Structure 1
Amino acid sequence: MNSPKTRAALVASTALLVVSGAAPSAAAAPAPAHGRTSVALAWYDTTADTIATAGSSLPPVTNSRTWAVSWIAAARALQHVPSGVDRRDYQDAALAGAVHRALVELVPTRAPELDAALQQTLDQIPDGPAETLGATAGERQALEVLHDREGDGLDAASVNAPFTVPPAAPGVWQPTPPAFAPAIQNGSRFARPFLLKSASQFRLPAPPAPTSERYQTDLKEVRDFGELNSTVRTARQTDTANFWFDSSLTLWTKPIRVALAATSHQPLLKQAELVALTNATLVDTQIATSDSKYTYPLWRPVTAIGTGVGEIPADPSWTPLHTTPAHPDYPSGHNTYAGATETVLTALAGRRTAPFTLTSATAPGVVRTYTAWHQLTLENMDARVWLGIHTRLADEAGVKLGTDVARYGLNHAQSLFQEH
């Protein structure tokens, strides 16, 4: 039996990731060697549980930051193993020490659960210098990353900085029914990205005019398929819409875990980099999304249909399947998230995966099975239209923006893992 180890007692090769067109297909993870639990999967689950429990009231980008900070620290801690110690023991302790310390600092209310998770990991590692040095290195990297990201503008108050609503005009965003709440996530565009040079680096072009053929076509689609009591939307389309109404952060947590499990044959460093880069890219994607949304504050379908525009007559009684979120239409945030995640997972785990199932809190009883990341992206694009809350042009623009940010992140990942 190992001697008890506590958090207090322990406080004492950069990889360039590029998009590859020949990435291997994801497959089921092999059983861990020597009966030891996969430390990457164990701490992935601990991170997910921590955020699900304590982060429900926070903006998605704030929670994505927690993921990114924790796993960047882990990846940095794994890069260099001192000579004379067991590599696996050192790296397992380093990953656990990094993620544990970052999460304790960012979510202190979960310290007891996090301490117990750390103890469980350390109990699997033989006592000795590899364990002690690894855990200490992990904690040090966590503190350094936290220090580097201090004041980055991704706290909840900064993210939800007030937005002055422009005067009402065709195509201009206005607060939406039923709450007519103030706009949210306006401040994300002023935050400091992890990898992007600026929030506007991949700013989208302006959306088409409300009277253009493209906009009119897309608005008619939302009007017909996204209405609360639509007679043309099928039962499966309704299920898809409800399914993807849930948080993108929540819905993509399992697919990312599936990709992580599929790379279990790779070095632990590569596994940590997958989680770190995915979430750092998602932070940057949400920053870029806010930039385009508030540069072009395009009205939501409920406003456009209620007001009437071009060949579409006003219908003040029109109601979407679900309540419209309080921020502009263009681009769809769910779809920027989808485009970014699909791009990173494709590069690092392959385009296809062993079949996995997914459920959603907003579609009880609905279970979906997927074998490729792109299937999730396609459903996201359709779902936002069938919900009545986004135009298809906003969905397609979102996927493009997320893809652009992710490709840049993949090609500049080296700087993310350099110790500062």
Structure 2
Amino acid sequence: MSLPRSRTALVTLGSAALLAGAVAVPAATAEPAAEKDTVLGWYDITAETVAAAGAPTQVTNSRSWAISWLAAARATRTVPTGLDRGDYRDAALASAVHDALTALVPARKDQLDAALQDTLAAVPDGAAEDRGVVAGAREATAVLKSREGDGLDPESVNAPYTVKPAAPGIWQPTLPAYAPAAQYGNRQAKPFLLKSPDQYRLGPPPALDSEAYAKDLAEVRAYGAKEDSRRSAGQTETAQFWLGSSFTLYTEPLRVAVARSDASAAGKARLVALFHVSSVDTQIATSDTKYAYERWRPITAIRAGAIDQDPEWTPLHDTPAHPDYPSGHNTYSGSAEGILNALAGPRTEPFELTSPSAPDVTRTYTTWKKLSDENVDARIFSGIHTRAADEAGIDLGKDVAEHTLRNSGRLFD
């Protein structure tokens, strides 16, 4: 798929600009271990908070990460003259994430209060601690206010959608639940950095009478069927591994990148913030393209379409309740890959990843791209997306990630 500009050049420029803005510091001046522990500690607290009492809609949870860590990145980006850098940033980061999460997930207030007290107990009393706490609170309040009414609450995300009459190519609810369309309201939400939800709207999916579409549909039919599939055991494992939320599965890879970074606490907070800002904007852009084209899912195309109609064909996994093009799992992967490649480098030392939907499986990765490649194949092996929808999703996610990197100054200036 052609792109509006050179992805490689733009990612390089975006990465260079961010690094120049103190995302990373030389090894000789790296932050003390205590500050690094504070970053990872509050990363884990955020993950626990969102998992324990988060919203039923993925983009709402991404928003919680984006708001809390954007506040942290702003609060830690500069240190007043004469104050201990590590003490100030520890207090500011903890205060920012605490205050944002307490407002967003009030059910976890007691746990968050206790975590804040633990952090501050390890920071020497004095001006650095006091002013850091004030800075964190100030930035949390400012970011929360800027996102009021942004349309990313669960009710707005799942705004009602009127299904069009059945016709070739047009999305229809699918078995077994025939659930109403989900995530339609995302395309009406307020992005963090995109000018509008349709700024990176993809071109149309392959025409129904095209050779490309026939090939895609044949692949899903052969490898994504629940019964009599050509799928290997390893391919079935891939489908099961990536079945759940990409948002959940990427929590550990991002943590790996943060833990292995030589950046300061401010740089680490910035990485987490940009990752999730890009994720939110990507999910908004995804729903815009999905509902602009309303492309039917493979199950509908195979059961009711004009190409070797098979009314009994069933996918390996149940089909989500929204259009096929593009794949939301893969837009998220594309966004994550784009941010991690730019700010953490395309390769890393091996790390292991497990999945809630495949609890007995552990996979090892050394590149962020491998995660995307598996996600593309997984949705085909599950029988719920065409390859065109998956690959277009990667492209859209990377486009939004590039936009996030190029325009990050608007978040932090």
Per the TM superposition, whether the score is higher than 0.5 is yes
In structure 1, the partner of 2:292 is 295
Q: Does 322-331 or 253-262 show the bigger shift?
A: 253-262
1:18 aligns with 2:18: no
CA contact 1:32–1:38 (8 Å) conserved in 2: no
Q: Does 322-331 or 222-231 show the bigger shift?
A: 222-231
Residues 251 and 17 from structure 1, CA distance in 2 versus in 1: closer, same or farther, beyond 3 angstroms?
A: farther
Residues 186 and 242 from structure 1, CA distance in 2 versus in 1: closer, same or farther, beyond 3 angstroms?
A: same
In structure 2, the partner of 1:255 is 253
1:337 aligns with 2:336: no
Q: Does 363-372 or 325-334 show the bigger shift?
A: 363-372
- 2:348 counterpart (350, 353, 367): 353
Q: Look up the equivalent residue of 1:247 and give its one-letter code.
A: S
Provide the rounded CA distance (Å) in 2 between the counterparts of 1:273 and 1:17: 17
In structure 1, the partner of 2:406 is 411
CA contact 1:19–1:407 (8 Å) conserved in 2: no
In structure 1, the partner of 2:86 is 88
- 1:98 counterpart (96, 99, 103): 96
Residues 123 and 391 from structure 1, CA distance in 2 versus in 1: closer, same or farther, beyond 3 angstroms?
A: same
| Shift, 1:136, TM fit | 1.3
| Shift, 1:209, TM fit | 1.5
* 1:17-416 equivalences in 2 (<5 Å): 18-19=14-15, 33=32, 38-55=37-54, 57-263=55-261, 265-309=262-306, 312-416=307-411
CA deviation profile, 1:221-249 (whole Å, cap 9, x unmatched): 00010001243100000000000011011
CA contact 1:69–1:146 (8 Å) conserved in 2: yes
CA deviation profile, 1:15-43 (whole Å, cap 9, x unmatched): x981359x9xx9xx999836666111111
Q: Look up the equivalent residue of 2:126 and give its one-letter code.
A: G
In structure 2, the partner of 1:4 is none
| Shift, 1:342, TM fit | 0.3
Provide the rounded CA distance (Å) in 1 between the counterparts of 2:96 and 2:228: 50
Provide the rounded CA distance (Å) in 2 between the counterparts of 1:116 and 1:53: 16
Q: Look up the equivalent residue of 1:237 and give its one-letter code.
A: Q
CA deviation profile, 1:323-366 (whole Å, cap 9, x unmatched): 00000000000000000100100000000011111111111201
Provide the rounded CA distance (Å) in 1 between the counterparts of 2:394 and 2:33: 42
Residues 85 and 213 from structure 1, CA distance in 2 versus in 1: closer, same or farther, beyond 3 angstroms?
A: same
| Shift, 1:126, TM fit | 0.6
| Shift, 1:398, TM fit | 0.2
Q: Look up the equivalent residue of 2:48 and give its one-letter code.
A: D
Provide the rounded CA distance (Å) in 2 between the counterparts of 1:283 and 1:398: 14
Provide the rounded CA distance (Å) in 2 between the counterparts of 1:346 and 1:194: 21
Aligned to 1:370, the other structure's residue is in SS state strand
Q: Look up the equivalent residue of 1:353 and give its one-letter code.
A: T
Q: Look up the equivalent residue of 1:259 and give its one-letter code.
A: A
Aligned to 1:18, the other structure's residue is in SS state helix
TM-score (norm 2): 0.92
CA contact 2:83–2:127 (8 Å) conserved in 1: yes
In structure 2, the partner of 1:10 is none
> Any unmatched runs of 5+ in structure 2?
1-11
Provide the rounded CA distance (Å) in 2 between the counterparts of 1:148 and 1:268: 24
Residues 206 and 135 from structure 1, CA distance in 2 versus in 1: closer, same or farther, beyond 3 angstroms?
A: same
Residues 62 and 259 from structure 1, CA distance in 2 versus in 1: closer, same or farther, beyond 3 angstroms?
A: same
Provide the rounded CA distance (Å) in 2 between the counterparts of 1:140 and 1:230: 59
Q: Look up the equivalent residue of 1:281 and give its one-letter code.
A: S
Aligned to 2:14, the other structure's residue is in SS state coil
In structure 2, the partner of 1:9 is none
Q: Look up the equivalent residue of 1:362 and give its one-letter code.
A: S
| Shift, 1:262, TM fit | 1.4
Aligned to 1:66, the other structure's residue is in SS state helix
In structure 2, the partner of 1:13 is none
Provide the rounded CA distance (Å) in 1 between the counterparts of 2:100 and 2:69: 9
Q: Look up the equivalent residue of 1:371 and give its one-letter code.
A: T
Provide the rounded CA distance (Å) in 1 between the counterparts of 2:80 and 2:241: 48
Aligned to 1:365, the other structure's residue is in SS state strand
Aligned to 1:38, the other structure's residue is in SS state helix
Q: Look up the equivalent residue of 1:19 and give its one-letter code.
A: S
> Any unmatched runs of 5+ in structure 1?
1-15
CA RMSD of aligned residues (A): 1.9
Q: Does 32-41 or 388-397 show the bigger shift?
A: 32-41
TM-score (norm 1): 0.91
Q: Which structure has the highest helix share of the two?
A: 2
Residues 290 and 125 from structure 1, CA distance in 2 versus in 1: closer, same or farther, beyond 3 angstroms?
A: same
CA deviation profile, 1:167-221 (whole Å, cap 9, x unmatched): 1111000001111110000000000100110100000011112121111100010
CA contact 1:226–1:387 (8 Å) conserved in 2: yes
Q: Look up the equivalent residue of 1:314 and give its one-letter code.
A: Q
Q: Does 323-332 or 83-92 show the bigger shift?
A: 83-92
CA deviation profile, 1:372-398 (whole Å, cap 9, x unmatched): 000000000000000000000000100
| Shift, 1:412, TM fit | 0.5
CA contact 2:257–2:340 (8 Å) conserved in 1: yes
